[in-house]
Amino acid sequence: MELNALFLQHVAASYDKQMALGDLIGGSDWQFDMGTQSLTFGTKIRFKIQVIGTESTHSRTWLWSWANEASGIPTPMLRASDSLRTYGQRSGIREFTQASFGLSDQANGHILSMIASGLCNGDAYYRGPYDGGALFMLIRDDRYPHQTINPANRVSTLFPQLIATMPVSNQRQAFLHYLEFYLAKVSVDDNILTGTFSNKQVVEARFLPDNRLESIKTKMGA
């Protein structure tokens, strides 16, 4: 499996999680505490995290946390990156098994963290900048407050925002996986994908021949 195929599977749902995290923390300052294995926002919001890896702005490289022996990261905080390495070995994903590699538009901290958020059932991820680079952390905490949402409205609102924000090579495929994330019943009619949610609301998306989104709308099902 190629990295981009995994990205398409998880990009929309992970973007959704990131928007929810942004609503939760706003512009709060962040603090990482390796001793308590936690990430704190402001004075009241604190979550348990896993360390995914780091980006270096000097060498323009990515380093997985499982390979970062110099930082002394506690073993419990390496579980997510270890599981990705195992997944990469089993599925033939080179980027998951290389300790370090050069950053690119196809493989960087955000892309790898979006995939990790999906594969490792994370609540969201956070990029913590520091002098010379950035630390990417996966939030996984039973106390994480999940929003009560209308999935049809959220999908129809966030998916256009996603494809306007970052390149998605196959928008049709990414949208299909987004519907699956919300357990929608999916039907396909040529260039139209329709998702019916448990509350009977429906999202209908029309795609161009090159798999780019043409239009999207919501309606009540029968």
Does 222 have pLDDT greater than 80?
A: no
Please tell me the pTM assigned to this model: 0.95
| Per-residue confidence (pLDDT) for residue 220, from 0 to 100 | 74
Q: Which tens digit of pLDDT belongs to each residue from 42-63? A: 989 999 999 999 999 999 999 9
What does the alpha-carbon distance between residue 178 and residue 9 come to, in Å, rounded to a whole number?
A: 8
Average confidence (pLDDT) over 126-135: 96
**Using one digit for the tens of pLDDT, what is the confidence trace for 165-211?**
999 999 999 999 999 999 999 999 999 999 999 999 999 999 999 99
* Mean confidence (pLDDT) of the chain: 95
Strands 30-33 and 38-41: antiparallel
Q: Evaluate the CA torsion angle 123, 127, 91, 37 in order and state its sign.
A: negative
Percent of residues, the chain, with pLDDT higher than 70: 99
What pLDDT, in 10s, does the model give residues 12-34?
Answer: 999 999 999 999 999 999 999 99
Q: Note the pLDDT of residue 78.
A: 97
pLDDT(74) > 80? yes
Crossing angle of helices 79-91 and 109-119, rounded to 10°: 90
* Cβ atoms < 10 Å from Cβ of 175: 26
Mean pLDDT of 108-117: 98
Which residues neighbour 163 within 8 Å (Cβ) at sequence distance 6 or greater?
Answer: 171, 174, 212, 213
| Sequence-distant (≥ 6) Cβ neighbours of residue 69 within 8 angstroms | none
Q: What is the pLDDT of residues 151-172, one digit of tens each?
A: 999 999 999 999 999 999 999 9
